[in-house]
A = this chain, B = another copy of it.
Amino acid sequence: MKRVMLTVAYDGTNYRGWQLQPKGETIERVLNCCLSELTGEEIMVIGASRTDAGVHAKGNIAVFDTESRIPGDKFSYALNQRLPEDIRICGSREVSLDFHPRHCKSRKTYEYRIYCAPFPMPVKRLYSYFTYVPLNVDLMSQAAAYLVGEHDFKSFCSVQTQALTTVRQVDAVQVYTEGEEIVIRVSGRGFLYNMVRIMAGTLMEVGRGRMEPEKVKEILADRDRQTAGPTAPACGLTLIGYEFLTEEGND
């Protein structure tokens, strides 16, 4: 038996997120089906990040165990021939049998994209959040700086969370303009449920002048979801990728 790691990219528009749901198609279900067909075994993948409905990914991670004789690095090609166009495997390789993508030290990076203009742009509608309210990127950057470091992010966590602790380490939050879009790029050692989307919603409140950048310090101290901004819509969010901080996960 061997364990294989997949790097998975997807357009989340037409899926109910990563995780198996009683109703509706999910990335996890499509991967399980294609892998089971390919190997003749009953395969169940374990995902590193269970992204929400409508969220996109350029580099989510999944692992599975198999007796198949297909070499680990060939699964990407074999799977891409079976997967729908909106899911692609961008790399695959064998990892050690004790590698678990959620129980090992890792850093992940997300991007939240905002298209800010007088009118929406159809070709951007699926992958960025549209607002016609002008946003001040400098103020958003100032506010973002308060989010970096180890903090209790309880205010930036959906009340539905089951997390034991709401303390998390955020390594970087950058806000910048890229072409016609504003990008919020966040890296950290793990995120609470909806954390990046609430961070984006809060930074947008600052950007439109409804909140001072310093207010973010107070929001963190309050430990109260009500004081932070709204949860920004899913379509603007993309999981960029993982960096594994243990030896096993990296090449």
* Residues of A participating in the B interface, judged by any CB pair closer than 8 Å: 9-11, 56, 58, 76, 80, 85-91, 118-123, 125-127, 178-179, 238
Question: How far, in angstroms, from A119 to B127 measured CA to CA in the complex?
Answer: 19
Question: How far, in angstroms, from A123 to B125 measured CA to CA in the complex?
Answer: 12
- Interface pair B56/A123, CB less than 8 Å apart: yes
A-B contact pairs, 6 of them (CB 8 A): A9-B119, A9-B122, A10-B122, A88-B119, A88-B120, A89-B119
> A14 CB to closest chain B CB, in angstroms?
10
> A2 CB to closest chain B CB, in angstroms?
22
- Interface pair A125/B90, CB less than 8 Å apart: no
Which residue in chain B gives the minimum CB-CB distance to A11?
B122
B contact residues around A58 at 8 Å (CB): 121, 123
- Interface pair B88/A9, CB less than 8 Å apart: no
- Interface pair A9/B123, CB less than 8 Å apart: yes
Query: What 8 pairs across the A-B complex have the smallest Cβ distances?
Result: A11-B122, A90-B119, A86-B122, A11-B123, A10-B122, A56-B123, A88-B120, A9-B122
Which residue in chain B gives the minimum CB-CB distance to A8?
B122
Question: How far, in angstroms, from A118 to B178 measured CA to CA in the complex?
Answer: 24
- Interface pair A90/B76, CB less than 8 Å apart: no
Query: Given A178-B179, A179-B178, A123–B119 Cβ distance below 8 Å?
Result: no
- Interface pair A88/B238, CB less than 8 Å apart: no
B contact residues around A76 at 8 Å (CB): 119
- Interface pair A123/B238, CB less than 8 Å apart: yes
Which residue in chain B gives the minimum CB-CB distance to A59?
B121
B contact residues around A11 at 8 Å (CB): 122-123, 125
> A114 CB to closest chain B CB, in angstroms?
16
Question: How far, in angstroms, from A131 to B122 measured CA to CA in the complex?
Answer: 24
Question: How far, in angstroms, from A111 to B80 measured CA to CA in the complex?
Answer: 28
Which residue in chain B gives the minimum CB-CB distance to A56?
B123
Question: How far, in angstroms, from A49 to B126 measured CA to CA in the complex?
Answer: 25
Question: How far, in angstroms, from A85 to B87 measured CA to CA in the complex?
Answer: 23
Which of B91, B121, B179 is within 8 Å of A9, CB to CB? B121
